[in-house]
Amino acid sequence: MFELLLHLDTIRGHHSTGVASVKGEGDWDLVKKKGVPWDLFDSKQYSTMMAGFSYALIGHNRAATKGKVNAINAHPFEFQDVVGAHNGTLRGQHRLPDHTQFEVDSENIFHAIQRDGLNDTLAVLDGAFALTYWDKRTEDLVLLRNNERTLYFCYSQDRKTVFWASEAWMLSVALSRNNIKYTEITDVTECVIHRFKFDRTAKGSTVEVELERFEEFRAPLPAASPFQGNAKAKPTVPVQDRKIKQPRELLKKNVEFTIDCAQYTTGGVRYLSGRLLADDSYEVRLFIPPDGTLWKELLANYDTIWIGHVQAYADYSGALFLNIQPGSIQEAVDGGDEDDGELIYEGFDKRMLTEDQFLDKTQKGCCWCAGPATILDAPFIMWLSDTEHLCADCQQEQGVKEYLKGAV
């Protein structure tokens, strides 16, 4: 049943898979692998881990948003007393302790829980999250979420086991196909910590749950400005705490970003708000037709990384905003390890391309001589559009020079 859940959950993430097996004494074994669940199931490490008794199993399928695609960045993440998985993307990782040390925001969350405890972590946790983790200090299995992510659970009919998943239908399918009778599937209540308790000393004991409501973090509003929206605004960030010290460094460059929600300016103009991937102290703003095709696509794919051209910026008393040129927006290909398609070739408008993307966009050949392009030609190509280029030789032709001069 557990393995079937991981199979079904692949639709939510196929970049890597991980499993933590909590043992009877409260410690755990952890196996993570780049790729889909069936790759993990074929590994010797997984077989060895599953051969022993598992008091609790935490599985996760990752769809990469921050950090390279590799086994290290796969969930669950472990620290001395905590092992867990996170679904979501943070807007304010800089508020978490030691944030510059973590490539993946999810790992930073569990570092904070280990160091400062859950309540102090929630007090500064800014973004979308659904968390599942085991804390051996209290011997609790903890589930919680905010309104930006889903999480569902149910019990076996005898209440000796609890099951959970990101989507309710996954539980229904996995349990039914394995002939497990179960209670009603319900959602993990928004902003309520669910601590599941197990009596490991009593054979056949039932699962109990303790509930505790928490207040979701709300970013303080900066001083009123013509750039400020009426929803969650980004607080000021001291220059020394920014990864990118000066916003002008980003002007007229392509950047990677995610989209979080729709907001309004104080003047009532609706726009999409997101975060710069390289430094989430910067808010990204897109002023595009509301409810149009691009608007809907960006909002629907909240876990997708996008690339766009910075056409303007504002640094208002430390509150940082970047306006992205709508026509430049495209989905980013994860830059992960080199064999995953690293973005190393420059294309039209300085957009970075993988090798496959470069070959696809140059397949028509030079638009003047129709000569083929290879990877070795990449540094010398002149791009005229997203799929049109001039080879190095043709750029020296007098006729081409006159054409280009006339086009300018």
Domain positions in the chain are 2-213, 239-331, 350-407
Q: Report, as an integer, the average pLDDT of 11-31.
A: 83
Q: Angle at the Cα of 385 (from 380 to 390), degrees rounded to 5?
A: 35
- Cross-strand partners of 145: 130
Q: CATH code for 2-213?
A: 3.60.20.10
Residue 184 has a CB neighbour count (10 Å cut-off) of: 6
Backbone angles phi, psi at 83, to 5 degrees: -140, 130
pLDDT at 26: 80
User: Is cis: bond before 238, omega within 30 of 0?
Assistant: no
Reduced to 3 states (helix: H, G, I; strand: E, B; else coil), residue 132 is strand
CATH level 3 topology of 239-331: OB fold (Dihydrolipoamide Acetyltransferase, E2P) (2.40.50)
From the number of C-beta atoms within 10 Å of its C-beta (0-12, 13-18, 19+), residue 139 rates as: middle
Are 189 and 202 within 8 A, CB to CB? Answer: no
Q: Angle at the Cα of 129 (from 124 to 130), degrees rounded to 5?
A: 125
d(CA 380, CA 360): 17
Reduced to 3 states (helix: H, G, I; strand: E, B; else coil), residue 404 is helix
Highest mean pLDDT among 109-118, 121-130, 228-237, 397-406: 109-118
Do 2-213 and 239-331 fold alike per CATH? no
Tokens of 149: 């992510």
pLDDT tens, position by position, 131-146:
999 999 999 999 999 9
User: What torsion do the CA atoms of 398, 403, 405, 406 make, to the nearest 10 degrees?
Assistant: 140
Highest mean pLDDT among 105-114, 280-289, 332-341: 105-114
